[in-house]
Amino acid sequence: MDNTLLAELIALGLLLLYAASVVAALEAILKSRTSQGAIAWVLSLVTIPILALPLYLVFGRNRFDGYMEKRDQIESESLALLERASGSIRGHLVGPGESTPLYTSLFNLARMPATTGNRVELLIDGEATFASLLEGLQRAQRYILFQFYIIRDDALGRELGRVLADKARDGLQVYLLYDEIGSRPFHRSRLLRQLRMSGVHVAPFNTTQGYRNRFQLNFRNHRKVVVIDGREAWVGGHNVGDEYLGRNPDIGHWRDTHVHVHGPAVMGAELAFATDWLWASNGHLAIDWDFNGAAPGSSEVLVFPSDPASEYEETALMFLQTIVAARKRIWIASPYFVPDSSIVAALQLAALNGVDVRVLIPDEPDGPVVGLANWSFTRQLIPAGVGIYRYQGGFMHQKVLLMDDSLAGVGTANFDNRSFRLNFEITLLVEDADFAAQVADMLETDFARSHRVGPADFANRPMWFTLGMATARLFSPVL
429-457: pLDDT as tens digits: 999 999 999 999 999 999 999 999 998 88
Distances in Å between the alpha carbon of 94 and those of 99, 103, 104, 295? 8, 10, 11, 14
What is the C-alpha separation between 132 and 126, in angstroms, rounded? Answer: 10
CA angle 171, 275, 198 (to 5 degrees): 25
Distances in Å between the alpha carbon of 362 and those of 2, 212, 381, 469? 61, 37, 17, 17
Instruction: Respond yes or no: is residue 167 known to be catalytic.
Output: no
Query: Per-residue pLDDT averaged across 206-211, rounded?
Result: 59
What is the C-alpha separation between 352 and 134, in angstroms, rounded? Answer: 45
User: If pLDDT is split at 50, 70 and 90, which confidence band does 26 have?
Assistant: confident
pLDDT recorded at residue 6: 61
Contact 432, 404 (CB under 8 A): no
Q: State percent of the chain over pLDDT 70.
A: 76
Q: Which of 38-42, 73-77, 414-418 has the highest mean pLDDT?
A: 414-418
Query: Per-residue pLDDT averaged across 58-76, rounded?
Result: 64
Query: Per-residue pLDDT averaged across 312-337, rounded?
Result: 93
pLDDT recorded at residue 51: 72
State yes or no: pLDDT of 212 exceeds 60: no
* Distance, C-alpha 44 to centroid of its chain: 29
Instruction: Respond yes or no: is residue 399 known to be catalytic.
Output: yes
pLDDT recorded at residue 173: 97
State yes or no: pLDDT of 114 exceeds 80: yes
Question: Which residue in 439, 474, 418, 410 sits closest to 329, CA to CA?
Answer: 439
- The b/e string for 424-460 (b: 16+ C-beta within 10 A; e otherwise) is bbbbbbbbbeebbebbeebbeebbeebeebeeeeeee
State yes or no: pLDDT of 290 exceeds 60: yes
Query: Per-residue pLDDT averaged across 319-342, rounded?
Result: 93
User: What confidence tens digit (pLDDT) does each residue in 358-400 have?
Assistant: 999 998 876 667 767 777 788 889 999 999 999 999 999 999 9
State yes or no: pLDDT of 83 exceeds 60: no
pLDDT recorded at residue 459: 80
pLDDT recorded at residue 84: 52
State yes or no: pLDDT of 99 exceeds 90: no
Within 10 angstroms of residue 22's Cβ, the number of other Cβ atoms is 14
The more confidently predicted of residues 341 and 256 is 256
State yes or no: pLDDT of 103 exceeds 50: yes
State yes or no: pLDDT of 86 exceeds 50: no
Question: Which residue in 436, 379, 376 sits closest to 406, CA to CA?
Answer: 436
User: If pLDDT is split at 50, 70 and 90, which confidence band does 79 have?
Assistant: low
User: If pLDDT is split at 50, 70 and 90, which confidence band does 307 have?
Assistant: confident
Query: Per-residue pLDDT averaged across 145-163, rounded?
Result: 97
What is the average pLDDT value for the chain, to the nearest integer?
84
Indicate if the alpha-carbon torsion angle 431, 438, 316, 213 is positive or negative: negative
What is the C-alpha separation between 14 and 241, in angstroms, rounded? Answer: 47
Among residues 201, 224, 258, 260, the one annotated as catalytic is 224
Query: Per-residue pLDDT averaged across 187-213, rounded?
Result: 84
Of how many residues is the chain composed? 479
Among residues 125, 404, 432, 446, the one annotated as catalytic is 404
Contact 111, 75 (CB under 8 A): yes
pLDDT recorded at residue 221: 92
State yes or no: pLDDT of 213 exceeds 60: no
The more confidently predicted of residues 450 and 250 is 450
> Can you say whether residue 66 is alpha, beta or left, with left for phi > 0 and alpha for psi between -120 and 50 degrees?
left
What is the C-alpha separation between 63 and 31, in angstroms, rounded? Answer: 8
The more confidently predicted of residues 125 and 477 is 125
State yes or no: pLDDT of 422 exceeds 70: yes
Q: State percent of the chain over pLDDT 90.
A: 50
State yes or no: pLDDT of 238 exceeds 70: yes
pLDDT recorded at residue 156: 97
Indicate if the alpha-carbon torsion angle 422, 428, 429, 433 is positive or negative: negative
State yes or no: pLDDT of 140 exceeds 90: yes
Among residues 201, 363, 397, 432, the one annotated as catalytic is 397
CA-based R_g, the chain, Å = 23
> Could you tell me which residues are beta bridge partners of residue 220?
423
Among residues 363, 399, 432, 446, the one annotated as catalytic is 399
> Could you tell me which residues are beta bridge partners of residue 361?
390
pLDDT recorded at residue 106: 83
- The b/e string for 132-164 (b: 16+ C-beta within 10 A; e otherwise) is bbeebbeebeebbbbbbbbbbbbebbbebbebb
First to last CA, the chain: 46
In single-letter form, the type of residue at position 70 comes to K
In single-letter form, the type of residue at position 396 comes to M
